Amino acid sequence: MTGRTALLLDVDTGIDDSLALLYACASPEAEIVAVTCVAGNVDARQVAENTRAVLELAGRIDVEVALGRETPLVRDLVTTPETHGPRGIGYAVLPPAGRPLSTRFGPDLIVEEARRRPGELTLVTLGPMTNLAVALQREPALPTLLRRWVIMGGSYRSPGNTAPTTEWNVSVDPDAAQRCIAAFGRPDVTEARVAAGMAPLPLALGLDVTERAKLLPDHLAALAVRAGVATGVGAATGVSVAPGAGVGTPLRTNPVLRFIDDALRFYMEFHVRNDGFYGAFIHDPFAVAAALDPSLVRSQAVAVDVELAGTLTTGETVADWRRAWGRPPTLDVAVDGNAEAFIERFIERVGGLAARIG
């Protein structure tokens, strides 16, 4: 083991997934072992194209990218072009990826790497949990082989973003989410993980916490300053921060910042229509940041199950805060998060990456 956090990232790249990839690439304590791709925001093959293109933008052509399962376990695939654009990265256009996909199947990669480095890898799922569910079918001991599982998914004490009580990543494949949470939350698994000196339960960041991380136009202006393409925030930068105006000329001179500007402009327009503010919830980077530094969030152990047959609530993550079920906890659910510190860190790290690439 080194002092770095060895990450397996499972993504459905998407706009905020792309920012999470950039954040991981910009974090010196992150060792990106591999990235696996799953259908969600867009179809899985587009996810794989986006993922490789973003990693190449960040200068990480060395990272293995594997295609995973292309459909949910038992349901039809639903994607969200209205949120992320037809290709999943908003208005952004990236050159076609040059590095080929891995020859490994995503779930097999997860299993093989966990067996190769038992107790070392942190898996971060940023999309539907389909690949992990398939990996568990192949290797039921996976929950004791991974050092930790960090989830961006669910809505535990807040409204949903897909239906009134459901969050997107869980709602796309609720069957996978239910199976994964149940497998990792078994008492014998928890006991084995404690005996091995690992965190007993997976860490879940739901909308309750991730929606506190709002990236606003002024933050993009600060990214331009950190990247060295502007000298101050606001009028002094020459960077426009008016809603709907993009972020202006300085960001256009840097390839990383130009990508962020074009991707986020689409996302911010979506949030204007649906959430009443010009900005963007950056769910997935917050989850990666918490995987690298768990002190960014405060969590509470709770029993969680996933509704699979509700007329109005299929995909709901049902958390037993009052312990009415009498079941042992299955997840450490984030109940608070230092969004301000995370945003500052995002600007520092991704702005620094842009400066190096620029």
Where along the chain do its domains lie?
Answer: 5-213+282-336, 215-279
State pLDDT tens for residues 48-105: 999 999 999 999 999 999 999 999 999 999 999 999 999 999 999 999 999 999 999 9
Share of the chain above pLDDT 90, in %: 92
**pLDDT: which is higher, 235 or 344:** 344
**Residue 205: pLDDT over 80:** yes
| Residues 143, 307: Cα–Cα separation, whole Å | 22
Contact 315, 307 (CB under 8 A): yes
Closest CA to 338 of 298, 299, 296: 296
Q: Is 246 a residue whose pLDDT tops 60?
A: no
CA distance 261 to 246: 7
Residue 240 has pLDDT above 60, yes or no: no
Tell whether the model's pLDDT for residue 237 goes beyond 50. no
| Angstrom distances, CA of residue 103 to CA of 48, 64, 79, 98 | 13, 10, 25, 15
- Give the pLDDT confidence score for residue 249 in this predicted structure: 61
pLDDT score of 45 more than 80? yes
Res. 171 pLDDT band, cuts 50 70 90: very high
* Cα separation, 150 vs 210, whole angstroms: 13
Question: Do residues 324 and 350 touch, judged by C-beta distance below 8 A?
Answer: no
Q: For residue 126, how far is the Cα from the chain centroid?
A: 3
Q: Where are the alpha helices (DSSP H) in the chain?
A: 15-26, 44-57, 81-84, 106-116, 130-138, 142-145, 168-172, 174-184, 187-195, 207-210, 217-226, 249-252, 255-275, 283-292, 339-357
Alpha-carbon distances, residue 208 vs 85, 153, 165, 168 (angstroms):
25, 10, 12, 13
Separation between Cα atoms, residue 153 and residue 317, nearest integer Å = 9
Assign domain 5-213+282-336 one CATH number from 3.40.50.300, 3.30.830.10, 3.40.50.620, 3.90.245.10: 3.90.245.10
pLDDT of residue 35: 98
Residue 238 has pLDDT above 70, yes or no: no
Mean pLDDT across the stretch 276-302?
Answer: 97
**Residue 243: pLDDT over 60:** no
Q: What is the DSSP letter of 336?
A: E
On whether the CB atoms of residues 230 and 210 are closer than 8 A, the answer is no
Would you state the pLDDT for residue 276? Answer: 92
**Overall average pLDDT of the 130-158 stretch:** 98
Residue 350 has pLDDT above 60, yes or no: yes
Q: What share of the chain is helix, strand, coil (3-state, %, to 5)?
A: 45, 15, 40
Q: Is the pLDDT of residue 214 over 90?
A: yes
User: Taking the CA of residue 334 as centre, how many other CA atoms within 13 Å lie in the half-sphere pointing to its CB?
Assistant: 30
Residue 3 pLDDT: 82
Nearest partner of 35 among 62, 5, 15, 58, judged by Cα: 62
* pLDDT score of 172: 98
Which of the pair, 170 or 229, is modelled with greater confidence? 170
Per-residue pLDDT at 198 exceeds 90: yes
- Residue 173 predicted with pLDDT over 50: yes
Report the pLDDT value the prediction gives residue 253, as an integer from 0 to 100.
Answer: 83
CA distance 259 to 159: 30
Angstrom distance (rounded) from CA 318 to CA 315: 9
Q: How confident is the model at residue 21 (pLDDT cuts 50, 70, 90)?
A: very high
Instruction: Provide the pLDDT for residue 248.
Output: 53
Which whole number is the average pLDDT over 274-296? 96
> If you average pLDDT over residues 216-243, what whole number do you get?
70
Q: What contacts 340, CB < 8 A, 6 or more positions away?
A: none
What is the reported pTM? Answer: 0.94
pLDDT at 234 over 50: no
Q: Look at residue 252 in the predicted model and tell me its pLDDT.
A: 78
- Considering the chain, what is the average pLDDT of its residues? 93
Distance in angstroms (rounded) separating the CA atoms of residues 37 and 110: 11
